[in-house]
Structure 1
Amino acid sequence: MNWSKLLQNVYSVGCMCGRRGLLKECSPDVQLTSFEARKLLQNIVGSPKHFGEPVDPQVASEANQLPKKQTDLPAKRMLDSYKEMVIPLGRDKNHRDKYLLTENSLRFGRFFEDLDTMAVLISYGHNHDPSKGPTHKSPISIVTAMVDSLKTKTEQVNHEKDLFVRGHVIWVGSSSMEVSMIVEQELNGRMNQVIAANFLMVARDPITKKKAFVNPLDLRSPEEEALFELGQAHKQTRTLQSQTSVLKIPPNDLERNSLHDMFLKTVDTKSIPFFCIFNYCNASVCSLRHCLYHVSGTLNNLIPPANCVWMSDAGLKNVLHCFQQQRNLYNKVFGGYLMRKALELAHANAITHSKSLTHLKCVDDISFRQPVEIGHLLFLSSRIVYTHKKLLQLRVHAQVLNPLTDEQKTTNTFQFTFSAEKDVPTVVPRTYAEYMLYVEGKRHLDSHL
């Protein structure tokens, strides 16, 4: 593969036509496969080919000359970052095997890896300096900060046909960018949308690890302005969600009443006379002790209602040793790999709970708080936190452990929404912490209905 020619073709794309959710689409001279996109990124970034090798000297040298303010960088059009990629399920049977879950279903976690790669490639395209040539290596590091949203648009995905990924930058801050992407597949002679995704990317100085400025956007049409405003609205929504988290604001009156009703349904009034204990509540210390004894006994003998499961029994766990084969361009564990493993654990959790095939509906609020180092242990804990008829809301918590120091850190939290083929058992919380997870899960699911 002539990577110099490929780089030239990728950076020379520039046509405009309407597309729902994107500014444009076009056909580059060379359409990248997902494998070629990863190899291309290695050349753009100048990342070492082998684990432990030093960073490219050119990148280290230019990192010391990064702009001190954003206005020093030229403004870019949205079309400057437009990229296309093909996931060759149809043309490459060996590649297809990596995506198959069963004979006719696909591993959506593999798409996470491809979308993460695509988002990084698009971000580098936005910040590329064309005056330095197509083979010039980027002096900044760009990583995924958050998956703002990822929604599946259809359950009809043909595992024997290619999938096409298209996307570009729609919003920028001083050091962050929002990348919007769609995945499509030909169906009955027309392109059918499979996935719509928005990734939040951040730029960093590869030496100091502090923020690096990104090129501002030059908005020249109403379509571009509308997309930029959409990205701005996404930012405001993220800010609002962080301010209204159950960790900062308690449940509202409606949520509290719902939780109390749920609690009452779990009380076993036959084994212990819960509603009779209040007869003992008078000024007598002895009676108060008797009351507390009955309350304690009652709370320890809660039972789930019919067709319900305790939240504590609706989870799965996994532990992974992070090897260098899963490293990204910066010798950390690849974010797409983390998302895939979290999704696959959540999927296993969903199908064991529902006893049916499940389909991924939506992913949101995937935040990357800490990088995962090679050699560390990654603990994944999945739990079904809310259910409604055929829908399941799952939360996966990722924690990393340094086996040499015992230092533990939360690296990621994931929110997944699945649909089953039939109504699923209701998940019921039993502790206060579980009630808060229930409220959080219900808010996530309600936001997608």
Structure 2
Amino acid sequence: MQSTRQLLQRTVRQAASRPAASKWATATGTARTRANATPSAIRQLSSTARKDEASPSSLLTEHAAPEAEGEAVNRIDSLLKLTDRLSRQSRNAALPLNLRAQGSYVKGEPAPPVMAEDEELVPLPETRRMGDSYVQLDLPFSTDAALREQYVGGLSKVRLGRLMEDFDSLAGAAAYRHVLPDGVDIVEASKYGFYLVTAAVDRMDLLRPLQNADGSVPDLRLSGHVSYTTSSSLEVFLRMATIPSSPTDESATILIGRFAMACRSVKGGKHNVPQLLVDGPEEQAMWSMGRDMREGKKKRSGASLNKTPPTAEEAAMMHNLFLQRSEIYDRKTPTPSDIIFMSDTRVSSASLMHPAERNVHNKIFGGFLMRLAYETAYSTACLFSRSPVTFVSLDELQFAQPVEIGSLLLLDSKVTFSPMVGEHHSFHVSVEAATCDLYTGEKKITNTFHYTFSAERPLSRHVVPKTYRQAMQWLDAQRRRRVGIEVRQAYTQAL
């Protein structure tokens, strides 16, 4: 008989690394996270989704075996309990405010402090525990009017892009706290010959509405800690939850995310990080999930459409689209009212990058980029759906290149997939970020963001690709959709 651990590992690998294949006509829109939904309504939507997906489509319908799925729910539930325990046990868990550079910016001057000749450094730790890296940021909206002014308002009620900016700070703080000796400031890291960068955001999933039933915003706690390490990289598990009103109350999880951090030597190449010691079944479950997710990410990367051709079933899906909706591509006929080409959903922006948004390495702060990209994607989603939308998930974010101060940041956002058959609310938006040198015109792609949104009303239009590159983006969004549906189903069952 398989052990519980084997079942858990099998479940995560199945959810994270299945090959993607589907028939376009059976794609479903089951990730319906409405702005006014209650936790019970979200669970009901998840249950409905499982029934709706009992179709021949393998892209959106394959799920773990019932017994393994139950183990996955228990596993995720233990992760949430772990963060509550670390919150109670940790001392000095407040988020440091020095992840951004301090003082005046002088172009050409190095950001890191110079080590004095007679200065002795506290040795770097060789091992760490999860609690050593725990950090949290409390947002008491109910009592702080100035805080509400910063985070609440506008069409989206809560500025989720602003919260994403905080999450990037949280991930960086947790990673530095894991690598540096206790009590050493983040700006001192360069004296040890290393620095940390956000390599990717693997997922961020909204599990409950950000607003209360009466429209108010609850007091929120953002927390994070290192959950998995390799020799030179770290995964930071992040959680947004309500703040309990009393010590006996339990917090309610609203959002879960995973950030991948890389440790680099200032001389070039990788820099080692302390080994993560695991204590108890909850921490073991957290560590195992990080390892399995990493393995699944490698498999998906190897099968990426940027590296390999579409599967036979995906190729057939595109051909079926051409055969069954050939009038879409006929230049002599007008485009049907229920169809919009991917390129026609595009929203673009350009912003100069100023020193005020720099990090301790004198590069533009990654959280600031996340905020700009999210707000661009949100605008794209509203324009496409012609209705208010709710953020469902950040499916993936890759940080390929740093953004330099003084560069022009170009954001190119478009809807990459929406289901074509049936009544659906959810769809996908991708944002490509590039920098442009104002004097040479040279452009470099720095980041790619992939989001899922849910419209308040059923979608009345459907996105279709026009070029081969857009067709690959269309297929890729469907692959991400399958993974996202499975992940959110497992999460919502654990609530």
TM-score past 0.5 threshold: yes
CA change 1:86–1:200 in 2 (3 A) is same
3-state SS in 1 of match to 2:231: coil
The Cα offsets for residues 170-204 of structure 1, whole Å up to 9 and x where unpaired, read as 11111110000110114896422111010001122
The residue number in structure 2 matching 1:275 is none
The residue number in structure 2 matching 1:284 is none
The residue number in structure 1 matching 2:440 is 405
CA change 1:61–1:391 in 2 (3 A) is farther
How far did 1:444 drift? 1.0
1:39 aligns with 2:97: yes
Match of 1:338 among 364, 369, 393: 369
How far did 1:143 drift? 1.6
Determine the C-alpha separation between the residues in 1 that align with 2:410 and 2:270: 29
The Cα offsets for residues 399-423 of structure 1, whole Å up to 9 and x where unpaired, read as 1111122221000000000011122
The residue number in structure 1 matching 2:463 is 427
The Cα offsets for residues 215-254 of structure 1, whole Å up to 9 and x where unpaired, read as 1112232322222111111211221121111122222222
Determine the C-alpha separation between the residues in 2 that align with 1:156 and 1:359: 10
How far did 1:63 drift? 12
Determine the C-alpha separation between the residues in 2 that align with 1:126 and 1:79: 9
The residue number in structure 1 matching 2:223 is 166
Determine the C-alpha separation between the residues in 1 that align with 2:442 and 2:184: 44
Identical-residue share of aligned pairs (%): 29
The Cα offsets for residues 354-379 of structure 1, whole Å up to 9 and x where unpaired, read as 11111111102201000000110011
The Cα offsets for residues 242-299 of structure 1, whole Å up to 9 and x where unpaired, read as 1111122222222222211211244239xxxxxxxxxxxxxxxxxxxxxxxxxxxx75
Determine the C-alpha separation between the residues in 2 that align with 1:60 and 1:401: 38
Query: Contact between 1:77 and 1:219, CA under 8 Å: does it hold in 2?
Result: yes
CA change 1:430–1:57 in 2 (3 A) is closer
Query: Contact between 1:149 and 1:365, CA under 8 Å: does it hold in 2?
Result: yes
Report the RMSD for the aligned CA atoms in angstroms: 2.9
Determine the C-alpha separation between the residues in 1 that align with 2:300 and 2:119: 35
The residue number in structure 2 matching 1:387 is 418
3-state SS in 1 of match to 2:239: strand
Query: Contact between 2:111 and 2:360, CA under 8 Å: does it hold in 1?
Result: no
Determine the C-alpha separation between the residues in 2 that align with 1:106 and 1:62: 50
Query: Contact between 2:393 and 2:453, CA under 8 Å: does it hold in 1?
Result: yes
**5+ residue gaps in structure 1?**
1-16, 270-297
The Cα offsets for residues 310-333 of structure 1, whole Å up to 9 and x where unpaired, read as 111112111111111111121111
The residue number in structure 1 matching 2:302 is 243
1:310 aligns with 2:370: no
Determine the C-alpha separation between the residues in 2 that align with 1:175 and 1:146: 14
Query: Contact between 2:111 and 2:362, CA under 8 Å: does it hold in 1?
Result: no
1:201 aligns with 2:237: no
The residue number in structure 1 matching 2:239 is 182
Determine the C-alpha separation between the residues in 2 that align with 1:170 and 1:366: 19
Q: Which has the larger radius of gyration?
A: 1
With 52-61 and 356-365 compared, the bigger mean Cα shift is at 52-61
1:50 aligns with 2:111: no
The residue number in structure 1 matching 2:87 is 26
With 180-189 and 319-328 compared, the bigger mean Cα shift is at 180-189
CA change 1:135–1:258 in 2 (3 A) is closer
How far did 1:209 drift? 4.2
Query: Contact between 1:392 and 1:419, CA under 8 Å: does it hold in 2?
Result: yes
How far did 1:160 drift? 4.1
Determine the C-alpha separation between the residues in 1 that align with 2:252 and 2:118: 43
Q: How does 1:70-85 map to 2 (within 5 A)?
A: 73-85=125-137
Determine the C-alpha separation between the residues in 2 that align with 1:124 and 1:377: 29
- How high is the TM-score relative to the length of structure 2? 0.72
Query: Contact between 1:58 and 1:137, CA under 8 Å: does it hold in 2?
Result: no
Query: Contact between 2:228 and 2:234, CA under 8 Å: does it hold in 1?
Result: yes
**5+ residue gaps in structure 2?**
1-76, 486-495
The residue number in structure 2 matching 1:277 is none
Name the aligned partner's letter for residue 151 of structure 2. Y
